[in-house]
Structure 1
Amino acid sequence: MLRHAERWVLRALEFSLVALLAGMVVMVFGNVVLRYLFNSGIDVSEELSRYFFVWLTFIGAVVVMRENGHLGVDSLVGALGDKGRRLCMVASDAIVFICCLMLLEGTWKQQAINASAVAPVTGISMAYVYGVLYFAGAGIALITLGRLFRALTGKLGPYELAEFAGDYSASPSHNLKGHLE
């Protein structure tokens, strides 16, 4: 049941990434065409495409974290055994979790400033633009906490240690992708 819900959430996030990217393409391309043909443009589309890019980046960071796709030092971790990999994973995830807490705290402290600042063209509160940091910080923190819990309780799948070392060939998500699409 949990895996099914997780898959739906991941699909919804991927769909939102596609929608944001498509919106950016339409707005930027539309502005290029308008400037080329009519020497005019839509100011709102310039501003919104920048905000879409911010949201795309941080939502994408959560999706990539879930898929273990962030950069890592695979050559070092790959040379270690299971115990060494597990130790590196726990240390890495602890650091990532602390960074997420710092991101959430900083976003909370900036909330009042962002809420009172408005975008120059659209007039929307900048809290809507930077509010994605709540989602990214909490999303990555939850994913990291889940993996930390599994690592510390011995419930970590062997494929997770392999993925942490840069080997995605044994991953269930790697094997499922062909069946889901």
Structure 2
Amino acid sequence: MSQTFKKVLTNLELIIASACIIVTTSLVLLNVVMRYFFKTGIYWSEEVATACFVWSVFIGAAAGYKHKAHVGVDMLINLCNPTWKKLLTIAVDAILLLINGYITYIAVIYLSLSYKKPTPVLGISTAYISSSILVSFSLMTIYSIYFLVKDIRKSNKGGAV
């Protein structure tokens, strides 16, 4: 496997979220220019920009979760002795697995209901936008499993979690 391909796979969520932000920004900017100079806008740009923004938020959240970049308050955990620290870390991993798994389940239900509703301008199914929730929380559930297994293995080997 080439180094570039490996780097792309490692950062796939960031790449997708960044591409969506680029499309959102470009469409909004283009629409502003069109309205200012040509007194007309692109009728579908707001809908596509909103959809891309939603995708960037949810996929970006999955990327943040994967890289453990979300803000956390670990002051109390840092005050604990190493044994309690390991146990609390594993407990938090398990709780996050349950929460992410449950939201993934709810996202499936929400997605099945959103197929029926078309978008106002383009008339496409809102499921194309709503599927970002399912993709994001499915990824977070997978990462939660990975983190839990990794922390359990570290704990069993006697290493710091």
Superposition TM-score, scaled by structure 2 size: 0.86
Q: Deviations over 1:116-158 (max 9, x none)?
A: 1111111111111111122111111111111111222336899
**2:137: which partner in 1?**
137
Give me the identity figure in percent: 25
| One-letter code aligned to 2:96 | V
Deviation at 1:90, TM superposition (A): 1.4
Distance 2:15 2:97 in 1: 26
How many angstroms apart in 1 are the aligned matches of 2:156 and 2:41?
53
Aligned to 2:9: 9
Output aligned runs, 1:1-181, within 5 Å: 7-154=7-154, 161=161
Q: What SS does the aligned partner of 2:120 have?
A: coil
Q: Name the aligned partner's letter for residue 82 of structure 2.
A: D
Structure 2 stretches lacking a partner, 5+ long: none
Structure 1 outlier segments of 4+, above 4 Å: 4-7, 155-160
Return the alpha-carbon distance in structure 1 between the equivalents of residues 5 and 142 of structure 2: 15
TM-score normalised by L of structure 1: 0.78
Pair 107,149 (structure 1): closer, same or farther in 2 beyond 3 Å: same
Structure 1 counterpart of 2:109, which letter? K
Unaligned runs of 5+ in 1: 162-181
- CA gap of 1:59–1:103, structure 2 versus 1, over 3 A, is same
How many residues matched?
160
CA RMSD of aligned residues (A): 2.7
Please give the per-residue CA displacement for 1:76-114, whole angstroms capped at 9, x wherever unaligned.
222233323222221211121111121121122223320
